């Protein structure tokens, strides 16, 4: 009995020590972030190093790249890849006309009974006040 209590105490002590070390490390990291975000000089130095030539995301490699505007891109044809000439872009779907609150919840219930995977479409057509009223009544 005494051995198990000593073992438990040893495990608890090591866990508490691990949590304390974690808390200290998180506090130091928090202080570093706070220093970067609240001290303009530190933020400026960090930004210049990060986007500088030796940083992970250099902004430019040479003076000529600095002078060119934008990124080089290839011209694309109108439409999307694989679209044949003369094809029209499909029209976006239109929303159904909103229904009365009583009718809406009845039709929504029927939709949930028949095809629950498509019920979200009907829910998207509801006016925000209809859903808010339902949530108020439920509470």
Percent of the chain with pLDDT over 90: 19
Residue 78 lies in a domain: no
Residue 107 lies in a domain: yes
Query: Which residue range forms the structural domain that includes residue 122?
Result: 101-138
Q: Which residue has the higher pLDDT, 124 or 14?
A: 14
Neighbour-count burial of 134, counting CB atoms closer than 10 A to its CB (0-12 exposed, 13-18 middle, 19+ buried): middle
- Total number of domains in the chain: 2
pTM score, two decimals? 0.33
Residue 122 lies in a domain: yes
What is the distance between the alpha carbons of residues 12 and 139, in angstroms, rounded to a whole number?
44
pLDDT band at 22 (very low <50, low <70, confident <90, very high): very high
pLDDT band at 8 (very low <50, low <70, confident <90, very high): very high
Residue 81 lies in a domain: no
pLDDT tens digits, 63-109: 666 566 655 556 665 556 666 666 677 777 776 665 555 577 788 88
């Amino acid at each position: 009995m005494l051995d198990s209590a000593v073992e438990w105490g040893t495990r608890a002590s090591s866990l508490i020590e691990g949590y304390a070390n974690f808390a200290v490390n998180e506090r130091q990291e928090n202080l570093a972030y706070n220093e970067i975000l609240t001290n303009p000089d530190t933020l400026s130095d960090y930004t210049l190093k990060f986007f500088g030539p030796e940083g992970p995301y250099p902004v430019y490699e040479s003076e000529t790249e600095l002078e060119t505007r934008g990124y080089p891109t290839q011209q694309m044809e109108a439409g999307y890849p694989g679209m044949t000439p003369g094809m029209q872009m499909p029209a976006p779907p239109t929303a159904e006309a909103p229904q009365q609150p009583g009718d809406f919840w009845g039709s929504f219930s029927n939709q949930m009974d028949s095809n629950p995977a498509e019920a979200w479409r009907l829910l998207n057509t509801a006016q925000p006040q209809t859903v808010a009223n339902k949530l108020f009544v439920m509470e």
